[in-house]
Amino acid sequence: MLIYLDCDTGIDDALALAVLLARPDVTLAGVGTVDGNTTAVQAAANTLGLLALAGRSVPVSVGGGVFLGGSETVHGSNGVGGVSLPGGSVDPRPAPSLLVSLAAAHPGELHVVALGPCSNLAAALALSPSLASQVASVTVMGGAVRVPGNVSGRAEFNIANDAPAAAAVVAAGWPVTLVPLDLTMGCRWDASAIAALAADGRPLTTALSQIIPLYYDFYEEESGVREIPLHDPTAAALAVGLLTPSDAPVLGLRVDPSSGATIEDPSAATRARVVFEVEGRPGPAILETILAGDWPPST
């Protein structure tokens, strides 16, 4: 399965990257980064550092977006909990160009996984009128359809950060699967995951064990429980078939261009498959997949 990942590497994006890399049947063809949890430039540096620890070489392109700041308390000053990662060199192509070129080179085979705001995807659609017909599927972590949002009563961060871009993505005519807070807030790790990753002891899992505690701190402060929701890893796991939807209707769906609300509307011209439930226990499945990854050992 050939994947283009678009992300704002962030702490849960880092976990999602590990899920994708751990799957032997997945080829990560390229990564584009977008303004969101941190700047697209910083997200690219974070992604390159994680790829280095995973022993992988994948083109990473910087994209654009709308950097609003304000996520430092959730993802840390550098987007990955303040943890220093190895360096790397970005691909010179802008992220939208990388996506367009990969889709053109692999028509009907490229699956897009978007874990941040949709700015790069919308820019790529504007760059190439044939993009939507070339892409096999699009999985977007974002939205809050039947539950409250996390940036306002109705809006979720990825969608609200660039609502016009999200509206363009939903309206593009390619097969969109939306993985909203309705599902991801219930896919969780408790604090035992930190210890499990630390005990694994390889450079990538050790780094993840150092990156995620800040995320636990934020959510413990917010909810009183030391657990984290697995927003991006859940979307990545669904995209590659690690998780199977048990309730995923195709709905008429509108994105309010000003508020970023994702509104269920049977009369809407735009439609998306919305995953509300998955089979089994997503948290343990995601952790087991990362721990089973073929990562380089400590030197």
Q: What are the residues whose beta carbons fall under 8 Å from the beta carbon of 123, sequence distance 6 or more?
A: 63, 64, 94, 95, 96, 165
Region 196-255 residues binding ligand RIB, contact defined as CB under 6 A: 231-232
Q: Which of 99, 118, 145, 102 is nearest to 34 (CA)?
A: 118
Q: Which of 8, 12, 162, 182 is catalytic?
A: 8
Alpha carbon distance, N-terminus to C-terminus of the chain: 31
Q: Bridge-partner residues for 286, per DSSP? A: none
Contact status: 150 vs ligand RIB (CB under 6 A): yes
User: For ligand RIB, which residue of 3, 4, 6, 10 counts as binding (CB under 6 A)?
Assistant: 10
Among 8, 35, 91, 182, binds ligand RIB (CB under 6 A): 8
Question: Which span sits near Ca ion by CB under 5 A: 8-16, 183-191, 243-251, 274-282?
Answer: 8-16
Task: Answer yes or no: 111 catalytic.
Answer: no
Q: Is the CB of residue 297 less than 8 Å from the CB of residue 205?
A: no
Question: Which x/- pattern over 112-131 shows residues binding Ca ion (rule: CB under 5 A)?
Answer: ---xx---------------
Min separation Cβ 18 and ligand RIB, Å: 14
Residue 33 pairs in a beta bridge with: 7, 62
Q: What distance in Å separates the CA atoms of residue 101 and residue 78, rounded to the nearest whole number?
A: 29
Task: For residue 74, give the H/E element and its range.
Answer: helix 72-75
Q: Choose the binding region for Ca ion from 2-10, 48-56, 278-286, 288-296 (rule: CB under 5 A).
A: 2-10
Would residue 294 show up in a list of annotated catalytic residues for this protein? no
Closest by CA position to 163, among listed 220, 106, 119, 215: 119
Is the Cβ of residue 158 or residue 270 nearer to ligand RIB in the bound state?
Answer: 158
33 binds ligand RIB (CB under 6 A): no
Q: How far apart are CA 104 and CA 133, in angstroms?
A: 10
If one asks whether residue 76 binds Ca ion (CB under 5 A), the answer comes out as no
Copy the structure tokens of residue 246: 């048990």
Which residues of the chain form contacts with ligand RIB (CB under 6 A)? 8, 10, 12-13, 36-37, 115-116, 141, 150, 156-158, 231-232
> Where do contacts with Ca ion occur on this chain (CB under 5 A)?
8, 10, 13, 115-116, 232
